[in-house]
Amino acid sequence: MAQPLKKSILSINQLLRLNGLTIPVYQRPYKWNVRNVHQLFQDVQQHQQQQAYRLGTIVFHQDTDQAQVLNIVDGQQRTLTLALAVHAIVQTRWDNMLRLDLKNQLADLEAPLLAFMQAQRFDSDISHHNLHQNYLEIKRLVSRSEFTEDLIDCLLNRCQVVTFTLADISEAFQFFDSQNARGRDLEPHDLLKAYHLREFSDQEQNLKATSVATWEALESDELAALFAQYLYRIRSWALGHSARYFGKNEIGLFKGVNINQIAHYPYVESLRIAHHYVDDFNQQYHRKIDGHHKPFPFCLDQIIINGRRFFEMAAHYQTTVQDIVDAENGESSRFLGVSLSPQARDILYLLNSYPKRQRTGDQFVRAMFDCALIYYMDKFGGAELSNAIERIFIWAFQVRIKQQLVQLATIDNHVLANNIFQVIKEATQPAAVLSLALPTLSDSDNKNNVRDGNVENDPLVKQFKAMKYYE
């Protein structure tokens, strides 16, 4: 018979006082590093004004044979790091603290914290190394002047975890699996949704419902494709970074700045001005007369403004990307209102018609082409669009001609070695992109047609020859 589930919401002060708190031997090594420590401290600092801030979920197994043992099934990385943090505060700050209530709390925590740490057995060298390095880093962090007593209070009393306690070990593991998205990880865009909902300012709480409704109106598969196939790749490649798979470890690329909380650094000023100006413009009574609405001026490589603007950005690029992709697949001589040259039209027709376009490798190359064109148009609009299509086509599809087998790693390596995205990022005029040096291919470069000897009949080769990029 299933045992009842115990659920609690505990402050960090309460969590570390629990009797019998234990890291069981079956747990994986402690793998959090200095980067994880900094992220935890940044999260606490950013949310220190909130009445409560949730640091996640912890699953316990209450061993019925050992009443005083509370095994951590899920959450050991977070729990150990919090224990290190409190111990570091006791060691470095206690003697000089002004707030008596905090000193008393820390004094009361010292005994259960010491008992918890001494009871653990870490057989892995990885655990020993990370625990030592993280503790040293935490001591440095809590010793800094900006780590105020109010921040200590926030960490101890306003930071919380949700705990679930089960008596049966198999049920505990089953519950752990179900909590982690019912056997599968949450999609990265779902994690971003949760993050940016927390980033709404107090003044924008009434706008949450609208933002969520707009987000939920988009199909989950469409959102997944938007971020994985386009936004992630463009932003990563523009930075000169690899962009193969978009997972939960990559969502930091879409975490930006909270302009209501961050220090007034000079680099934030332009974002702050644009943010407030657009809102002010749209709220003026003149808009009731002229009906004009000014959208926020998004750019694919800009610093993201957390909260509402993130959701607006996603909606904006869902529409923008779809419009460009639809225009690529259309048969009109105009591309989003821009007249195309005959050669540019021929290229788009070719991409949508050549026989082997459905091969996986060809689709990878097409995706690379699409990303580059989207990035170009996001920055320069329709300026020199025909020339841009021609240059990007040669840049992208040379990979298809040169390689017999094209994989995701192939296009990723091609971008990093011949990075048109960085060229676009740094360009102030289309000419910088259009003057990109491109190689002329020959039969000796052609690995795609080696086996079938079909060089003369390959539509891609014919287009390259027509454009004088194949001899």
Q: Which stretches in the chain have pLDDT values below 70?
A: 1-5, 26, 63-67, 168-186, 450-453
Q: How far apart are CA 210 and CA 254, in angstroms?
A: 20
SS3 359: coil
According to the model, what pLDDT value does residue 429 have? 97
Q: Are residues 161 and 15 in contact, defined by beta-carbon separation less than 8 angstroms?
A: yes
User: Could you list the residue range(s) of the whole structural domain that residue 115 is in?
Assistant: 6-184
Residues 179 and 202 in one domain: no
Within a domain: 319 = no
Contacts of 374 (CB under 8 A, 6+ apart): 230, 234, 300, 320, 321, 324
According to the model, what pLDDT value does residue 167 have? 73
According to the model, what pLDDT value does residue 213 have? 75
Q: What is the pLDDT of residues 379-409, one digit of tens each?
A: 999 999 999 999 999 999 999 999 989 999 9
Within a domain: 324 = no
Q: Is the pTM of this model over 0.75?
A: no
Residues 173 and 197 in one domain: no
According to the model, what pLDDT value does residue 73 have? 82
* Element at 316 (helix H, strand E): helix 308-329
Q: Give the number of domains in the chain.
A: 3
Contacts of 375 (CB under 8 A, 6+ apart): 234, 238, 300, 301, 421, 424
Instruction: Determine phi and psi for 383, rounding to 5 degrees.
Output: -65, 125
According to the model, what pLDDT value does residue 229 have? 95
Within a domain: 317 = no
Q: How far apart are CA 3 and CA 77, in angstroms?
A: 26
According to the model, what pLDDT value does residue 20 have? 84
Residues 271 and 359 in one domain: no
Within a domain: 126 = yes
Residues 388 and 340 in one domain: yes
Residues 245 and 148 in one domain: no
Within a domain: 212 = yes
* Tokens 């090594």 belong to residue: 29
Given 276, 311, 346, the domain boundary residue is 311
According to the model, what pLDDT value does residue 64 have? 65
Which tokens is 51 given?
Answer: 């009445």
Q: What is the DSSP string of 37-77?
A: HHHHHHHHHHTTTSS-EEEEEEEEEE-SSSTT-EEEEE-HH
Within a domain: 425 = yes
According to the model, what pLDDT value does residue 1 have? 38
Residues 157 and 175 in one domain: yes
